[in-house]
Chains A and B, each alone.
Chain A
Amino acid sequence: MAGIVGYGAYVPKYRIKSETIAEVWGEDPDRIQKGLGIMEKAVPASDEDSATLSVEAARIAMKRAQVSPSEIGAVYVGSESHPYAVKPTATMVAQALGTIPNLTAADLEFACKAGTAGMQMCMGMVDSSMVKYGLAIGADTAQGRPGDALEYSAAAGAAAYLIGQDSESLAVIEDTFSYTTDTPDFWRRSKSDYPSHGGRFTGEPAYFKHVQGAFNGLMEKMDEKIENYDHFIFHQPNAKFPKAVAKKLGVSKEKIEPGMLVPTIGNTYSGNAPLALANVLDHAKPGERIFVTSFGSGAGSDAFSIQVTDKIEERRRDGYPLSHFIENKEYVTYAIYAKLRKKYKGM
């Protein structure tokens, strides 16, 4: 069985408040904050992209795992904002970590769940002894069209998971289950700067159907029940959806609270569920069980059943916890935000 040998998460320093964005478009900030449940979101600096965020998160994961970079046989970076259209982010990341040259590497893309897809690939490779360790990263510097509802949520962040044998893991991944269909709820054509979405269509037939499909699928496969888990993480496109799906499934509010990051950092897309898991692992006790369900538009969900081992405490002593990056913040105006995100013509 495979597990998490090391993990790390990173969020850029800059934040923009929902009310700052609302002011520009003449929206009622209260309505946005209450409706989406997002107070502010993380904004990358002008010299940050998905590759640099990945390296930041992965360096923390490596520090915690205390594994030689040469033992990592696979690096997968999941993102919908890869810096190049053609040239893998995973090559820059592998080079910066020193895992080169004896490894396989590739970029993944599945809207907000490309990071968890990478975790599953690494689990399979570890279980089949193809590699000793595999590194799966979810990273994004997501952009919303100016004035669109997504502008309040599209944020930046990354989380990295070093997957290896369960015997040396800080958390064992007991099982995983996925649920995938062709659902056009959100997309971006290759030459568009910003994504398009199906409005109301993003809810019931997309998010709720797939999250519940993966959740129920894994529960049934493992013959498990909700009472046996201490924490639940559901993908957070906003604060409303994960709360609603938890209620539908009968998961209490308290059990989703530690992983709720979207109100303070926004939706980090491929980093979303992986960052939430990092925040839960930062505080988890040995023996606790975590149920994670990611979601990616297009659409699909990956569910994981995870149990924390007694190695967690010594491993997380090294490297910054996610709260270090969440608390170290600086607010920017809309004008500076537009500069950092290169929204001005001629930049």
Chain B
Amino acid sequence: MKESISLTWRRIPERYKMLGSHCTTCDAHYFPPRMVCPACRRKGKIEQFEFSGNGKIYSFTEIHAAPSGFENQVPYVMAIVELDEGTRCTGQIVDACCKDLKIGDPVEGTFRKILSDDPEGPIHYGFKFRLKK
């Protein structure tokens, strides 16, 4: 998988610190961040919001046929996580396989390498999730 350096760089705040957005008009949280609140449109006031990384597993699957760049990590778990602040996001569940997990399990944010397959290229870092014990 190739991602341009400028795109990686722009995504650093979102990936490193889970910086999303919050609409102060209707109190909705968005991750990834949105510039405009889809519910309030022009009336919405958007501010930057740092998610805690805490949430619950909404759904998950184990990846055996990985996209390029992730082959060495198989098998690994991808999940949709219901964040405590009230929105869902997709992320990897680390240090676990399918049999360790069930829907509703609490998870917390962790900081990991996302992609480092190109020995000459930059290393991409960002948030993932792990089971909260």
Residues of chain A touching chain B, judged by Cβ–Cβ distance below 8 Å, are 12-14, 45-49, 51-52, 55-56, 59, 83-84, 87, 92, 95-96, 98, 324, 328, 330, 339, 342, 347
Among the stretches B34-42, B81-89, B107-115, the one at the interface with A is B107-115
Across the interface, A96 reaches (CB within 8 A) one of B73, B111, B113, B133, namely B111
Across the interface, A56 reaches (CB within 8 A) one of B16, B111, B116, B125, namely B111
Q: How large is the interface on B (under 10, 10 to 19, 20 to 34, 35 or more residues)?
A: 10 to 19
Q: Are A48 and B123 in contact (CB under 8 A)?
A: no
Across the interface, B111 reaches (CB within 8 A) one of A12, A14, A52, A347, namely A52
Q: Are B123 and A84 in contact (CB under 8 A)?
A: yes
Q: Are A52 and B95 in contact (CB under 8 A)?
A: no
Residues of A near B125 (CB, < 8 A) are 51-52, 92, 96
In the assembled complex, how far is the CB of residue A95 from the closest CB belonging to chain B, in whole angstroms? 5
Residues of A near B123 (CB, < 8 A) are 49, 51, 83-84
**CB-based closest 4 A-B pairs:** A55-B111, A47-B112, A47-B113, A96-B16
Q: Are A49 and B113 in contact (CB under 8 A)?
A: yes
A48 to B12, CA, bound (A): 17
Residues of chain B touching chain A, judged by Cβ–Cβ distance below 8 Å, are 12, 16-17, 72-73, 94-95, 110-114, 116, 122-123, 125, 128, 133
A87 to B95, CA, bound (A): 27
In the assembled complex, how far is the CB of residue A68 from the closest CB belonging to chain B, in whole angstroms? 13
Across the interface, A347 reaches (CB within 8 A) one of B16, B72, B114, B133, namely B72
A55 to B18, CA, bound (A): 14
Task: Give the number of A-B contacts (CB < 8 Å).
Answer: 48
| Known contacts A95-B12, A96-B125; is-contact A48 B112 (Cβ 8 Å) | yes
Q: DSSP class of B's interface residues: helix, strand, loop or mixed?
A: mixed
A49 to B111, CA, bound (A): 10
| Known contacts A92-B125, A95-B12, A96-B17; is-contact A47 B73 (Cβ 8 Å) | yes
Across the interface, B94 reaches (CB within 8 A) one of A47, A83, A87, A328, namely A47
Residues of A near B128 (CB, < 8 A) are 47
Give the residue name and chain of the A residue nearest to B131 (CB).
A328
Max count, chain A CB within 10 A of own CB: residue among B95, B114, B122: B95
A339 to B76, CA, bound (A): 14
Q: Are A13 and B111 in contact (CB under 8 A)?
A: no
In the assembled complex, how far is the CB of residue A22 from the closest CB belonging to chain B, in whole angstroms? 25
Residues of B near A347 (CB, < 8 A) are 72
Across the interface, B17 reaches (CB within 8 A) one of A98, A324, A342, namely A98
Residues of B near A339 (CB, < 8 A) are 72
Residues of A near B72 (CB, < 8 A) are 46, 339, 342, 347
A56 to B111, CA, bound (A): 7
Residues of A near B110 (CB, < 8 A) are 52, 56
Q: Are A48 and B113 in contact (CB under 8 A)?
A: yes
Give the residue name and chain of the A residue nearest to B125 (CB).
A92
Give the residue name and chain of the B residue nearest to A58 (CB).
B111
Inter-chain pairs besides A45-B112, A95-B16, A339-B72, 20 sampled, C-beta below 8 Å? A13-B95, A45-B95, A46-B72, A47-B114, A47-B128, A48-B112, A48-B113, A49-B123, A51-B123, A51-B125, A52-B113, A56-B111, A59-B111, A83-B123, A92-B16, A95-B12, A96-B17, A328-B133, A342-B72, A347-B72
A96 to B15, CA, bound (A): 9
| Known contacts A52-B113, A56-B110, A56-B111; is-contact A45 B94 (Cβ 8 Å) | yes
Max count, chain B CB within 10 A of own CB: residue among A45, A55, A83: A45
Give the residue name and chain of the B residue nearest to A12 (CB).
B95
A245 to B83, CA, bound (A): 50
Residues of A near B12 (CB, < 8 A) are 95
In the assembled complex, how far is the CB of residue A179 from the closest CB belonging to chain B, in whole angstroms? 35
A342 to B95, CA, bound (A): 17
Give the residue name and chain of the B residue nearest to A69 (CB).
B17
Residues of B near A96 (CB, < 8 A) are 16-17, 111, 125
Residues of A near B113 (CB, < 8 A) are 47-49, 52
A98 to B13, CA, bound (A): 9
Residues of B near A47 (CB, < 8 A) are 73, 94, 112-114, 128
Residues of A near B112 (CB, < 8 A) are 45, 47-48, 52
A345 to B121, CA, bound (A): 19
